[in-house]
Amino acid sequence: MPLALLGTGVSRGIGIGRARIVRHGDLDIPQYRIAPHWVEEEISRLTAALETARAQLRAIREQIPAAIASDIVGFIDAHLLMLEDQALTGAPAEIIRQQRFNAEWALKLQQETLLRVFDEIDDPYLRTRRDDVEHVVRRVQFLLLKGPGSHDRLGPTEEPDRVILADDLSPGELVTLHRHGVAAIVSERGGTASHVAILARSLGIPALVAVHRADQFIRDGEMVVVDGHVGVLLTGLTEADLASYRQRQTQERRRRADLRQLKDVPGRTRDGVPVELAINIELDADIAAARQVGAAGVGLYRTEFLYMNREQPPDEEEQFEQYLAVVRALSGAPVTIRTLDAGADKQVGGEIAPSCPSALGLRAVRYSLKEPELFKTQLRAILRASAHGPIRLLIPMLTTLEELAQVRQMLAAAMGELAQRGHPFDPTLPLGGMIEVPAAALCARQFAQRLDFLSIGTNDLTQYTLAADRMDQAVGHLFDPFHPAVMRLIQLTAAAGEATGTPVAVCGEVAGDPFFTRTLLGFGVSRLSMPPAALLEVKRVVLESDTSRLRPRVAQLVECSDSAAVMGLMEEINALN
Ligand code: PEP
Ligand code: MG
């Protein structure tokens, strides 16, 4: 009999294959005391396991496809850093020395201490880091129990086309599964923004999360189907059902192949309106993807990743080298570099921003203006790179015109310093501002009059308009870009751009969602920047759209009274010929 288990689809696509059940929770951690003369031996055993875990993660890091490097390398690097941290090296060794527990138990005790600290932190982002602690400790414990040749709890996953049903998966495990040609993954833990979800999307693996105890209903080796579009895991299907899913899978693959043909086609609507389709990047390694999808440039370079996982900020020279590498790789296409957007969901540590500001706190441009030397260092590095190719400068989270005036002063000062040093730069470098705060959207006209372009950050604009922290699962149901209030602010910003002749971009998540493309075009948005994997699908919609027909329909969106009405109207707009 067919059985459907519901979950949350976090990575689209259909996966078909035999189930493989992986339960990390089943790892039995033995507890025993060791004789005093074995203490040093036990510590060496722990040290060796830590070293093997580091070597495994380094090897996994090498297997990550270049085109999606930044998403994943960041997660693996965070685990590597943890494996070098005193909290996971020195502290368990001390437990072995003081309490004479075996290494596995010492790690468990230390893990409990660390998790208690994380549980007390009232910050949804940092709370997600507790998963990292669990993943790292689990890898080391597994090595201690099974010996250095063992890898992880995945078992025989080398067989391709397996559907993994797990209680939890780590980023490293996901990379290994991808290499072995996994068909889909289903996890009990994790949400839409969890690491496993982000990675699955980047790697193109159909994935579900929040599917509870699938192992109670499905046996190892049973044939299952994962539908990542609707978020369902199916088993007990007839041959005819399976054949129909296989057909859908083939159609999807064919469609992806067809999309690749659009790579070099210019982004232009049917009525001839040019639309700049660019990509969002986080590290210079991401630019390989720009070429693969024929992007018109980089619409958002999130530079905060240069500042993460380190004590001291990168100096001017280091930043200059990074920006230069991106500019050179884009060979003449524009690169939009956003200045440091520290805080809230993007915590930089060490001496850079020690106070972990909240979403409403001293973050983004507020923080940069508070730390003029840090800010000017970044501005000088960006300016120097602008001598080598077209760069646009983008300021995150502007709220007041006063902030913008201060940014201009800083920019002038940075230019003055470079001129004095004899460094070339582009004195006409376009300056843009992110519209992410409702106040800025409501005053978009005033900003547009003073800026060369606007870029709507719909992720933050949604969070601030609806007062729903984007990192807090508890208010996830309120984080809704379809809300008419968000629609109105996007429309207002786009209209301000048109009235003043200022290009308006969208670079939040909705820019990469083909369901939103026609709406944004109808509002008058002329630039879209998104994750590389979304670009060709969005381009297809652009090529099939006629803005003159969209405009009157899209104008009705702002009159809708709720999200359901907005969504319904958008469906109609998307169905227009
Ligand atoms: C946004 O807020 O929509 C945006 C693009 O910036 P980030 O996601 O980096 O905050
Ligand atoms: Mg933002």
Domains of the chain: 3-24+156-259 (3.50.30.10), 36-146 (1.10.274.10), 292-296+437-453+461-577 (3.20.20.60), 298-429 (3.20.20.60)
Question: How many Å lie between the centroid of ligand 2 and the Cα of residue 459?
Answer: 6
**pLDDT for residue 275 is more than 80:** yes
Percent of all residues in the chain with a pLDDT value above 90, rounded to a whole number: 66
Find out whether the beta carbon of 460 lies less than 6 Å from any atom of ligand 1: yes
For residue 455, which atom of ligand 1 is closest to its CA? 5
Using pLDDT thresholds of 50, 70 and 90, give the confidence band for residue 480.
very high
CB-ligand 1 contact for 132 (6 Å cutoff):
no
Task: List the single range of 226-235, 349-358, 360-369 with lowest mean pLDDT.
Answer: 349-358
At residue 342, does pLDDT exceed 80?
A: yes
Ligand 1 near 534 CB (within 6 A): no
Interval between CA 191 and ligand 1 midpoint (Å): 19
pLDDT score at 523:
98
Nearest CA to ligand 1 atom 1: 457
Residues across the chain: 577
Task: Compute the Cα dihedral for 290, 296, 298, 300 and give only its sign.
Answer: negative
Confidence of residue 149 (pLDDT cuts 50, 70, 90): low
Mean pLDDT value of segment 16-42: 88
Q: Counting atoms of ligand 1 from 1, which one is nearest the CA of 302? A: 9
Q: How far apart are CA 517 and CA 542, in angstroms?
A: 7
Q: Does 42 contact ligand 1 (Cβ within 6 A)? A: no
Q: Which helix (H) or strand (E) holds 414?
A: helix 401-421
Q: Atom 4 in ligand 1: which residue has the minimum CA distance?
A: 457
Q: What is the mean pLDDT of the chain?
A: 90
Mean pLDDT across 304-318: 89
Starting from the edge strand earliest in sequence, which strands make up the sheet with 223-227, in order? 3-6, 232-235, 223-227, 14-22, 162-166, 184-187, 207-209, 8-11
> What average pLDDT score do residues 455-462 get?
96
Task: Say whether pLDDT at 351 is over 80.
Answer: no
| pLDDT at residue 179 greater than cutoff 80 | yes
Q: How do the residues of the chain divide into helix, strand and coil, expressed in percent and rounded to 5?
A: 55, 15, 35
Q: What is the token pair recorded at 28? A: 């039995």
What is the pLDDT at residue 67? Answer: 61
Distance 528 CA to ligand 1 centre (A): 13
Is the beta carbon of 508 within 6 A of some atom in ligand 1? yes
Q: Which of 71, 304, 434, 461 to mutate to test the pocket of ligand 1 (most atoms within 8 A of CB)?
A: 434
Tell me, using a 6 A CB cutoff, whether residue 316 lines ligand 1. Answer: no
Cβ of 341 closer than 6 Å to ligand 1, yes or no, is yes
Mean pLDDT is lowest, of 193-202, 221-230, 303-312, for 193-202
Probe target for ligand 1 pocket from 363, 459, 461, 520, with the most ligand atoms within 8 Å of CB: 459
- Distance, CA 36 to ligand 2 centroid (Å)? 55
Lowest-pLDDT range of 85-99, 112-126, 523-537:
112-126
Ligand nearest to the CA of 530: 1
Contact status, residue 104 vs residue 89, Cβ threshold 8 Å = no
Separation of CA 160 and ligand 1 centre (Å): 36
Locate the ligand 1 atom nearest the alpha carbon of residue 456 and give its number: 3
Q: What's this model's pTM, rounded to 2 decimal places?
A: 0.73
* Alpha-carbon separation of residue 209 from 7, 165, 197, 468 (angstroms): 6, 10, 8, 22
From 494, 84, 563, select the one nearest 273 (Cα to Cα).
494
pLDDT of residue 476: 82
Residue 377's pLDDT is: 98
- Please report the DSSP string for 248-289 in residue order: HHHHHHHHHHHHHTTTTS--B-TT--B-EEEEEESSGGGHHH
CA 353 to chain centre: 21
Ligand 1 atom with least separation from CA of 463? 2
Question: What is the mean pLDDT of the segment spanning 45-52?
Answer: 93
Residue 345 CA, closest ligand 1 atom number = 10
| Ligand 1 atom nearest 280 alpha carbon | 5
Contact 506, 472 (CB under 8 A): no
Q: Which pLDDT belongs to residue 203?
A: 83
- What's the 218 CA to ligand 1 centre distance in angstroms? 39
pLDDT of residue 356: 66
How far does the centroid of ligand 1 lie from the alpha carbon of residue 538, in Å?
19
Q: Is the pLDDT of residue 262 over 90?
A: yes
Q: Over pLDDT 70: what percentage of the chain?
A: 93
φ, ψ of residue 505 to 5 degrees: the values are -110, 160
Which residue numbers are catalytic? Answer: 195, 507
Which residue matches tokens 């994790």?
190
Residue 309 clears pLDDT 80, i.e. is over it: no
Higher pLDDT, 1 or 480: 480
Ligand 1 within 6 A of CB of 304? no
From the CB of 459, is ligand 1 less than 6 Å away? Answer: yes
Determine if ligand 1 sits within 6 Å of the CB of residue 507: yes
Determine the average pLDDT of the residues in 453-480: 91
